[in-house]
Structure 1
Amino acid sequence: MNSIPTYMHAVTLIGHGDLDKLVYREDVLTPQPKANQVLIKVAAAGVNNTDINTRTAWYSKGDNDSDDASWSGTALSLPLIQGADVCGEIVAVGTNVDISRVGERVLIEPCINQVNGEQLATPWYLGSECDGGFAQYTCVDSAHAYAVNSTLTNVELASFPCSYSTAENMLTKANVTEHDTVLISGASGGVGSAAIQLAKARGATVIAITSEAKRQQIIDLGADKAVSRNDDLIKCLGKNSIDVVIDLVAGEKWPVFLEVLRPGGRYAVSGAIGGALVELDIRTLYLKDLSFFGCTVLQPQVFANLIKRIEQGQIKPLVALSFPLKQIADAQQAFQKKQHIGKIVLEINR
């Protein structure tokens, strides 16, 4: 086993703002695992909306005020190492962790509910309330490091944790089954493309909303039907035609989702890239007996179920581009152009 260096290279977020707030360093102290933790040598880490939203203080409800600029609504402790999608190898363990875990290839569950064996009152997110994977090494509790037995590459595996667990969590909370017709917004993004695969793995019928240019790729991914984001959904699908809406977009067209939902339908949301403020006619909510699910904290079974689907080959990775860690600015710029399908991944030692 290679020796663990005293210092590591990492990208640190030094404040809220533009890409200049991301600083590449080679003199960051390598973390040490506490009693219930493992030290992971990071091989690859995916780029997500949450990285950019955190950097720009998008989560703030106070005009980008840094006092509430994390997804949990609290101030960040800066400098911070971001990165919620992590694939790597356990290289050291704390005193309460079985030494046999050293050498395991793992994925980190990004929703952190315990630190050094103690349950958190409010869960953290990897790379937000604690340091994440945009670094050579990172530490998490052993319970959040899941061994994965797969022939997929590290880059491919790093495309799964955040997007796919978010999608699986939405489908779990909305109780999607093989009897459901599911409408997915933002279908070409990381979570949307994951939701297509995971909904199909449950046997559901999937209708995906995407751009006209990406329609065929979305069909090839498994969607039963793809509609354009510019289409009139009521004309295309009909009122009361959908059992479940998996929404990552929101925005001004949001009210139509409630129109296409059947009475008793379920709406699950974990993103608002089209606009966070929407107009809700509360009568539609109660007269149609709709159920709404906000989805951030993972249900207990979600990540373990995701690992099983990966190992059984029920879902496949979608890696659009990869960059070395030093080029994180280029990776985030490519991410924001939204020209890709799937994930953009940083190779930490490339």
Structure 2
Amino acid sequence: MDALTDLPATMAGVWLTGHGGPEVLEYRTDIPVPRPGPGEVLVKVAAAGVNNTDINTRVGWYAREVKAPTDAAAAQATEAGGWAGAMQFPRIQGGDLCGHVVARGEGVGRLALGARVVSPNCLPRPRPDNPLNFIVIGSEIDGAFAEYCLMREDDLY
């Protein structure tokens, strides 16, 4: 692994602790900095945007059971409120990611340390039963509302 010796043990970020209004967002300074595994890189976040996906995920609007408009979805939110069903909490949201690579896991070759990167919000994860399957940053995996974000090398540009 490259550059892990210079990383802090913890980082600041915003945890989503459940579905609901802004009260389910929690600013923390003790979130463990993730360590990249094979094929993964750690990105030092330079900027992250708030988009409708972050808000709709927070209020649980993507749950199939919710039929209300987004401004009323939190009242109907269920445990199955993510794109792919039930979400794991706490979750770091933030699907709009840009930054630079500060650590690399084994097998990473295309992205050098210091490389500037961006990521799409939706990441392809084809399956035999669904070749169009995808996951969403900040819903199925942690996103950019923290100092660092762990990503697969092949999800970054």
TM-score, normalised relative to structure 1? 0.38
Higher RCO structure (Cα 8 Å, ≥6 apart):
2
Q: CA deviation at 1:58?
A: 1.3
Q: Distance in 1 between matches of 2:61 and 2:111?
A: 42
Match of 1:105 in 2: 116
Structure 2's unaligned 5+ residue stretches are: 67-75
- Indicate yes or no: 2:9 matched with 1:10: no
Q: CA deviation at 1:71?
A: 2.3
- Indicate yes or no: 2:67 matched with 1:46: no
* Structure 2 counterpart SS, 1:143: helix
1:1-350 to 2 correspondence within 5 Å? 3-63=6-66, 64-72=76-84, 74-98=85-109, 101-114=112-125, 122-146=133-157
Q: Distance in 1 between matches of 2:44 and 2:108?
A: 17
Q: CA RMSD in A?
A: 1.9
Q: Distance in 1 between matches of 2:46 and 2:10?
A: 17
Q: Distance in 2 between matches of 1:61 and 1:133?
A: 26
Q: Distance in 1 between matches of 2:78 and 2:35?
A: 29
The C-alpha deviation readout for 1:190-241, integer Å capped at 9, x for no partner, is: xxxxxxxxxxxxxxxxxxxxxxxxxxxxxxxxxxxxxxxxxxxxxxxxxxxx
For residues 100 and 123 of structure 1, do their structure 2 counterparts lie closer, same or farther at Cα, with a shift above 3 Å needed?
closer
Structure 1's unaligned 5+ residue stretches are: 147-350
Q: Distance in 2 between matches of 1:15 and 1:100?
A: 34
Q: CA deviation at 1:66?
A: 2.3
For residues 49 and 7 of structure 1, do their structure 2 counterparts lie closer, same or farther at Cα, with a shift above 3 Å needed?
same
Match of 1:337 in 2: none
Q: Distance in 2 between matches of 1:71 and 1:84?
A: 13
Query: Aligned partner of 1:95: which letter?
Result: E
Do the aligned residues in 2 keep the contact of 1:93 with 1:99 (CA within 8 Å)?
A: no
* Structure 2 counterpart SS, 1:54: helix
Query: Aligned partner of 1:93: which letter?
Result: R
Q: CA deviation at 1:99?
A: 7.7
Q: CA deviation at 1:100?
A: 5.7
Q: Distance in 1 between matches of 2:120 and 2:150?
A: 12
More helix by share: 1
Q: Distance in 2 between matches of 1:12 and 1:113?
A: 24
* Structure 1 counterpart SS, 2:56: helix
The C-alpha deviation readout for 1:9-41, integer Å capped at 9, x for no partner, is: 010000111101000000000011110111100
Identity %: 41
Q: CA deviation at 1:62?
A: 1.9
Q: CA deviation at 1:60?
A: 2.0
Q: CA deviation at 1:145?
A: 1.2
Do the aligned residues in 1 keep the contact of 2:20 with 2:77 (CA within 8 Å)?
A: no
